[in-house]
Amino acid sequence: MDFYLSTSIDAIDRSHIYHFLRACIFQSSFSSPVEDKLIQGCKVLDIGCGAATWLLELSTKYKNSYFYGVDIKPIYPQEIKPYNLEFIKADVTDRLSFNDDEFDFTHVEFMSFVFTSNQWDFVLSELIRVTKPGGYIEVAGRRNGYVGEGPIFRKLTDASNYIHCF
């Protein structure tokens, strides 16, 4: 897979800003009902983890859970990271190196423009394969409009599109 997203310091900073802005607005870093599982201890996979802001936040907060981040470009922290966080350099358009039914929660965010529709079919089938029955797969990202959005939320989505256009 060709990697075309910027890995500049400015782009990484923008991804951190967008993560915390989104978490502040929605009062959470995820939508799936997995808080209890995270507290008790579970396995979480983040595909296309980038600079790993999401993983660093959750692995620090939920110390009983184990987190795995996969990205083709290793811009995530190499040395300093929580004990319950592991990074794997891999192309997610190839078969993932995880067992079937391994994860309780699988997360993909801001990858909507990275894959072709055929690649999405494969990536989603891999997410289904590695997620346990009864587990959650969360695919999150920007859209160009939301049903019933008001003027303030529209300004926010417009601003987020601007933030990520560099």
CATH number of the domain encompassing residue 131 = 3.40.50.150
pLDDT in tens, 105-152: 999 986 767 788 888 899 999 999 999 999 999 987 655 545 566 776
Whether the Cβ atoms of residue 96 and residue 70 lie closer than 8 Å to each other:
yes
Is residue 1 situated within a structural domain? Answer: no
- Only one residue has tokens 């933030």, namely 163
Question: Which residue from 16, 100, 6 is spatially nearest to 52, judged by alpha carbons?
Answer: 16
pLDDT surpasses 80 at 88: yes
CA separation for the pair 52, 85 (Å, rounded)? 10
Share of the chain above pLDDT 70, in %: 66
Whether the Cβ atoms of residue 29 and residue 57 lie closer than 8 Å to each other:
yes
Structure tokens at 15: 């991804």
Is residue 2 situated within a structural domain? Answer: no
pLDDT surpasses 90 at 153: no
CA separation for the pair 108, 48 (Å, rounded)? 7
DSSP 95: P
pLDDT at 151: 75
CA separation for the pair 156, 26 (Å, rounded)? 12
Domain span at 69: 9-163
Structure tokens at 55: 């993983």
Whether the Cβ atoms of residue 164 and residue 142 lie closer than 8 Å to each other:
yes
pLDDT at 128: 96
Share of the chain above pLDDT 90, in %: 45
Q: Band of the pLDDT at 91, cuts 50, 70, 90? A: very high
Is residue 147 situated within a structural domain? Answer: yes
pLDDT surpasses 50 at 165: no
- State mean pLDDT over 148-158: 64
Q: Give the residue, 114 or 37, on which the prediction is more confident.
A: 37
- State mean pLDDT over 38-45: 98
Question: What residues contact residue 165 under an 8 Å CB cut-off, 6+ apart?
Answer: none
CA separation for the pair 76, 107 (Å, rounded)? 16
- State mean pLDDT over 84-94: 93
Average per-residue pLDDT in the chain?
Answer: 79
Write down the pTM of the prediction. 0.76
pLDDT at 140: 79
**Alpha-helical regions (H) of the chain:** 9-26, 35-40, 53-61, 117-130, 151-163
Choose the weakest-confidence range: 3-7, 30-34, 37-41. Answer: 3-7
Q: How many domains does the chain have?
A: 1
Is residue 3 situated within a structural domain? Answer: no
pLDDT surpasses 70 at 23: no
Is residue 30 situated within a structural domain? Answer: yes
Is residue 142 situated within a structural domain? Answer: yes
